[in-house]
Structure 1
Amino acid sequence: MFDTMTMTKVLGGVCGTLLVFLLGKWAAEEIYHPGGHGDHEQAYVIPVEGGDDAAPVEEGPDFAEVYAMADAAAGEGQWRACAACHKLEDGENATGPHLYGVVGRAVGSVDGFGNYSGALNDAADVWTPENLNAFLENPRGYAPGTGMTYNGMRKIEDRANLIAYLDSLDG
């Protein structure tokens, strides 16, 4: 019905039309959203009585309370996510430093492991349960520039259980 030249022209027309639409979308984005999609200051703010005090943000449970009730046996299950890069045996490093005795240990102090990022030393001096909690929640947010690629552990109970498990290993 169609020869190859006609099919080539039809396909070229469809591709050309798609290209025009994509370029139009890009131009519209640049015109109406200059500078990308980042946070921008509102041009006009309507003051509302009560303002920010109207709805207090609920913080959630305190880490000290959750950690006091942590279950080290449940934390052993959370360890699997860490086992890909860390070892539990004292002196055995892997991609990351060993985690034997990590609770209460000085940050960046494992002998034989030289791949620490400076971001960790800037973030804390000692791996207290609170520091470990903040780091495990969001490693890159706690220590920007860290070499740890883990995305973080969302549940506070899971973090508390894991920290209790790590703390139970060294006595």
Structure 2
Amino acid sequence: MFDTMTFTKILGGFCGAFLIFLLGNWAGESLYHTGGGEGGHGEAHADAYPIETGDDHGGEPVEEVDFATLLAAADIGKGERVFNKCRSCHSIEDGVNGTGPSLFGVVERDVASAAGFGFSGALDGIEGNWTPEALSAFLQSPKGFAPGTAMSFNGLPKETDRANIIAWLATLN
């Protein structure tokens, strides 16, 4: 049933597949990596040349808008749509907690003070209220704002999204 010839065929099949894999890898390396040297890494190709971009980053400096200005111009409708990212864990009903605490009245509420919700130790040590600026910092990077928090959300990188959702949450107070 299982003789030496069958074993030899199976071993030969694996060796042949491995050889094809190695040859494909070698061909890919030679196609997509430039320069010589050990493995072709780190050296510039002979036909390559640097592109000078200057230090001005495209002309005039980008004007930074403070968060209060963004909050004043926030779109509440867009904030409600952005909240759909939060809806799986948070409720907006007063006193109804989910995986995360209820966000009803969260703007200007004390940090880690939602009734009936057990906060992680990371938020228990933070003093003060959830001001719009503090909420923005938390929503940008929850783990950066409160290292060790149990919140697994990666954050909202766009400042306008954070302003929109905070403006919408402020209407729930």
TM-score normalised by the chain length of structure 1: 0.68
Shift of 1:124: 4.6
Unaligned runs of 5+ in 2: 21-54
- Identity, in percent, stands at 47
Q: Which has the higher helix share?
A: 1
Whether the aligned pair in 2 keeps the contact of 1:123 and 1:142 (CA below 8 Å) is no
Residue 6 (str. 1) matches residue 8 (str. 2): yes
Which residues of 2 match residues 109-148 of structure 1 at below 5 A? 109-114=113-118, 116-148=119-151
**Which residue number in structure 2 is paired with residue 73 of structure 1?**
77
Q: Number of residue pairs matched?
A: 136
Q: Which has the higher contact order (CA 8 A, sep 6+)?
A: 1
**Which residue number in structure 1 is paired with residue 101 of structure 2?**
97
**Which residue number in structure 2 is paired with residue 48 of structure 1?**
none
Unaligned runs of 5+ in 1: 19-52
TM-score normalised by the chain length of structure 2: 0.67
For the aligned residues, what is the CA RMSD? 2.9
- Provide the C-alpha distance between the structure 2 equivalents of 1:98 and 1:11, rounded to a whole number of angstroms: 60
- Provide the C-alpha distance between the structure 2 equivalents of 1:168 and 1:120, rounded to a whole number of angstroms: 24
Letter in 1 for 2:83: W
Whether the aligned pair in 2 keeps the contact of 1:124 and 1:131 (CA below 8 Å) is no
In the superposition, relative to structure 1, how do residues 126 and 59 fare at CA in structure 2: closer, same or farther (>3 Å)? farther
In the superposition, relative to structure 1, how do residues 80 and 54 fare at CA in structure 2: closer, same or farther (>3 Å)? closer
Secondary structure in structure 2 of the residue aligned to 1:76? helix
Shift of 1:169: 1.1
In the superposition, relative to structure 1, how do residues 120 and 14 fare at CA in structure 2: closer, same or farther (>3 Å)? farther
- Provide the C-alpha distance between the structure 2 equivalents of 1:59 and 1:124, rounded to a whole number of angstroms: 32
Q: Residues 29-62 of structure 1: CA distance to partner in whole angstroms, max 9, x if unpaired? A: xxxxxxxxxxxxxxxxxxxxxxxx988x968432
